[in-house]
Chains A and B, each alone.
Chain A
């Protein structure tokens, strides 16, 4: 018989918090205790914020991003539409990462994963058809495939390239190479080889 920490409400809170990424039962108990100690200043506002988010959060009908409106703020921005640049990402977290990088005025398309035969994920399970429809409209000038540099990510990229081939749109992908802070000695030979193949002329920039 397991020892009870508190009432059933507290036990349930611990169990739910323990299901969050990065938290286990021990850290969930610590978080619960912290919330209980700061009931008015943290627990109540957090509960209210969660309740509001549950009601308001929507998945964008165009790109698959999460926002409180659909179409999302990015898809509704007319300046981004004018650029005609569409960045394809695997997940919403990748979209947020690209936005944090400040790459500029681009639209996005969230695939919802990658082709993975091992997990039974085929083209019909991803939003590839929706991507093809967006490109079909002719408003997109360039599609950037910003998928992970994994075998599954690159297989998905090649598949999308095949699907977009009839539309004549410019399809590009992110460069693979040496990351900032990366020491050559510690890089795998595949990455080094790709970085060497994709080398660029040094000192061309007028800076």
Chain B
């Protein structure tokens, strides 16, 4: 078995004294692991860093084997990421989010969106908007997507202001008014009904954070990524 692809490094793990198990997000084969022989050598030190893009060739006798990677650098952005706290936290968070996906299951849109966020030095508002949409898509790809197309109570498709924390469906302003304290606010930019204001970002991350916590982190008994809070605080209140 052999194939070649490009990919984004989302994790590295030491294996023995010389090798490294590399976790790569590829556009067409999803999250894929492989062994890099000599991966702990100086030659690979700058290449095998999370956030870098690489060209990989995977080889194994059987498809279900871990297999070995031959790695070549494509875009080494880790050094630039390290220079900026915000971009470093973003890179760590994106890697953690992508590691939630099942192995060898393609999620090309998530891959492309992650690359776009890493490569574009956007202002906090633009980046926050992209990250909130990325988290919505992540929930969707994991099978826990939110239905933000129409009101769960009345069926109307306009003036959607809330999301039910139970059904994950949108609720209109009128229908949700009596239950506002129990519903999650829905920022308009998530439904494409307006641009994001700085205050909207906090609400958007509260919304995605709630469903990530309930369906993913708690269900899998893992802690929420610490970098998420650090990054959000920098996006919501830029220093």
Contact = CB atoms under 8 A, between A and B. Distances in A.
Interface of A: 21-22, 115, 117-119, 122-123, 149-152, 154-155, 158-159, 161-162, 176, 187-191, 193-194, 197
B50 A22 contact: no
Contact of B78 (A21, A158, A162, A190): A190
A194 B227 contact: no
Contacts of B47: 188
Given A155-B92, A194-B83, A118 B46 contact: no
A97 B191 CA distance: 55
Contacts of B73: 188
Given A122-B223, A151-B50, A190 B76 contact: yes
Contacts, number: 66
Contacts of A162: 230
B89 interface: yes
B162 to A, nearest CB: 32
A145 to B, nearest CB: 12
A30 to B, nearest CB: 17
20 contacts: A21-B17, A115-B226, A117-B96, A117-B225, A117-B227, A122-B226, A149-B82, A151-B49, A151-B51, A151-B81, A154-B88, A155-B89, A155-B227, A188-B79, A189-B79, A190-B80, A191-B46, A193-B79, A193-B80, A194-B79
Kindly state the interface size class of chain B when it binds its partner.
Answer: 20 to 34
Counting chain A CB atoms within 10 Å of each CB, which of B50, B79, B92 scores highest?
B79
Interface of B: 11-13, 17, 23, 46-47, 49-51, 73, 76-83, 85, 88-89, 91-92, 96, 99, 223, 225-227, 230
Given A118-B23, A119-B13, 11 more contacts: A123-B226, A151-B49, A151-B50, A154-B82, A154-B88, A158-B88, A188-B76, A188-B79, A191-B46, A193-B79, A197-B83
A155 B88 contact: yes
Given A118-B99, A188-B47, A151 B13 contact: no
